Structure formats: structure tokens, C-alpha cells
Amino acid sequence: MRNAWQRVRGGLWPVLQQSVAAALSWWLARQIFDHHTPLFAPMATLVALNTPLGGRGTNAVRVVSGVIAGVIVGALAFRLLGDGIFSVGVAVLCSLVVALVLDGERITMAQAAIGAVISVASGQQAGIDRVEDALFGAGVALVFSQLLFPAHPLALLHRAEADTLRALGQVLDLTAGSLQKAYDDEGRWTAQLWDALRPVYTSIHDLNRIRDDALAAARRTPHWSRRQAPVRQEAVAAGCLGLLGNSCLTLIRATVGLDARGRHAVAPTVRGLSGALSTLAGGPGSSVSRLDATRRVLGVVHDRPNHLPDPVWASALQVGEDILVAAGADAETAGRAVRDRAADVPLAKPPTLAWSSLKRRRRNRPGSRR
């Protein structure tokens, strides 16, 4: 029930937008198109908006391009081959190939195939009506996604970064707990660790997709198009989390072959790095969280455990260095800090992107109160 409530709470606002947009699309289309019932207009709106925030505008364009390609191919197949089973098969095949040429996305291919089937089975006019509905429905979706309720690019990146950091912290915490236990079956311990890594791969994959969506939202949304620099800066930082994931996996792999004494020695180090990741996950865009995570990392690298092989310690230092980079440190400075066991590391100020720059302009106005 808790997971269900979290899904409802997290998706209620986008679902409400989809419902209002679909109803509005249906009502407006009925006022405009008097020669047919605009069934596909609200459907196109729903399909376009039924994707994570940041990718809805791109989704709307894909819906339209797929429908147009399918209708054109279907109309040609209907005129040349009629409306038989062979014509439907050829139209679907050709429309899917055209969709592959356009972008190869699943939604484009599905809309192209559906448009081809409708054009062949119902005639040319039905295909034209389908294009009109798709254009209108996608237009409503674009108004909602790009003008009325644009996604916040930095918020998208921070949520994805937090999910990835949290997943990495959890798997390191599980590793630390496993290192402190005695296992008679080495294979069972290894299998548990690899099973715990599955959410990490999913989080990193989702992060890469959301990076592209955030950059597209900043570039194509009128509200953000003139303020893309903070989004680009944070997108570069988010890309570094892939390297952090690799270093965490290398550390886990290095601990698998340790004996009992080595496992007990490295467990506190792994748990300390896990705590730093969890702290940073609490606020990837917060200066306080970044500073706390940095202090945790420096505390870990200051105390090298006894009886720990050099390769394992080097892997732990690499994880610490990547955490410092994720917290805003320069890569060269972070590497030098973990090697020299520095007491402090300078961090870059996190990028910010306010919904409105009105308050900032007032604050920077000459004579304004500070």
C-alpha cells in the first residue's frame, strides 16, 4: 500500500493534466471538425502526454510524424493494391520501415502502423481524418507540455541523480553488511550482491534518458530556452554519475575475493562511502548536502584500515574521488584530495534555475535592500 500511495502521489499531477487535456482536445475538435467524430484527437493527446516529464513535447512530434507516415503509406497501398489482406500486410511493413528511417522509436512505429491499417481498411478519407485528429491532439499536448505546464529541467535531473545515488548507496550498504557476515557458500554471497545491482543498472539507464529529456526541455520550451546554461552544467555533472557507478562496481568486485580478515577490514570503509552517497542523494542540488557528503568522504580516506590490499584501497579511493566530483569538486582537485588526504575540498556552487527571474532582477536592482 505504501508503494501504491507513492505511485499515486508522484503521478497524480501528470495524470490530471492528461485528463484535462484529453477532455479539452475532444471538446475543441468537435467544435472544429463537423464532418467526422474526432475520436483520435483525445487519443493523440493522451499518447503524447503519456510519457515522463521532459519528453512529452518530443513524444507529441513522434505521434504526428508516425501518423502522417502511416497514412501516406496506407493511402498508396489502398490505391495500388485495394483493401485486402495483402494490402494491409504490405502497408504495415512499409510504414514500419519508414518509421525506422524517421527515428526508430516505438511510439513512431506504432502510430505509423495504426495509420496505415486505418487508411487501408477504412479508405483514404478516414486516413485524412486521422491526420487531422493527430495534428489537433498533438497540438493540444504541445500547449500543455511546452507552454502551460513545462517541466523543470533541473528538477528532473536532480530527481534522477538522487535515485541513482540512492541506489548506489544502498548496494554499498548491503555490501558492507555482507562483508561483516560469515558465509559458508561463497556463490550465494556473490549471487546476492549481483541481484542487488539490478536497480543500479536501471537507475543509470534512466538517468541517461532523463539527461536527454532535460536538455531537450531546456532547448525547446519557451520558458527555459534563454536559460540553458545551468541545465547544461548539471547535465555534465549527471553524466559523471555513470563513472561513479563503474567505480562502485569495481570496489564491490574487488571485495568478493577477500578473505575473512580483509572483509572485516574493508567493511567500515564501504559503509562510510555508502553514507556519503546517501547524504548526497538527499539533495544533489543542495550546497549543504554536497558539503556534508564531501566531509564524509574525506573522513573515510583519512583512515586506511589495516590488512587491506592495495588494489581494494585504490578502488575505495576511486569511489571517494568520484563522489567528490559528483558533489561539485574539480576532477583534478578531487584526485589530489583523496591521495593527499586533504582536510577540505573547494566545491563549485550548484547551478540554479528559478521558475521566474523577477525576484532576482528586483534583488539586483540598484538601491534594493539586501
pLDDT band at 360 (very low <50, low <70, confident <90, very high): very low
User: Residue 42 pLDDT more than 60?
Assistant: yes
Global pTM reads 0.79
pLDDT at 162 over 90: yes
Which pLDDT does position 292 carry in this prediction?
95
For residue range 164-177, list pLDDT tens digits in order. Answer: 999 999 999 988 88
The answer to whether the beta carbons of residues 255 and 183 sit under 8 Å apart is no
Cα distances (Å, whole numbers) of residue 112 to 127, 194, 344: 11, 40, 57
Q: What are phi and psi of 112, to 5 degrees?
A: -65, -45
Q: Which residues contact 175 (CB under 8 A, 6 or more apart)?
A: 193, 196, 252, 255, 270, 274
More confident residue, 326 or 256: 326
The gap from C-alpha 322 to its chain's centroid, in whole angstroms, comes to 20
Sequence-distant (6+) residues with CB within 8 A of 181 are: none
Look at residue 182 in the predicted model and tell me its pLDDT. 57
Domains in the chain: ranges and CATH: 15-148 (no CATH), 153-340 (1.20.58)
What are the angstrom distances between the C-alpha of 315 and each of 87, 135, 243, 320, 349? 60, 54, 12, 9, 28
Rounded Cα distance, 263 and 256, in Å: 8
The overall average pLDDT reported for the chain is 86
Q: Which whole number is the average pLDDT over 231-248? A: 90
CA neighbor of 190 nearest in space, from 166, 201, 174: 174
Read off the pLDDT of residues 206-229 as tens digits, 9 standing for 90 and up: 898 899 888 888 888 888 888 889
92-106, 178-192, 291-305, 330-344, range with the lowest pLDDT: 178-192
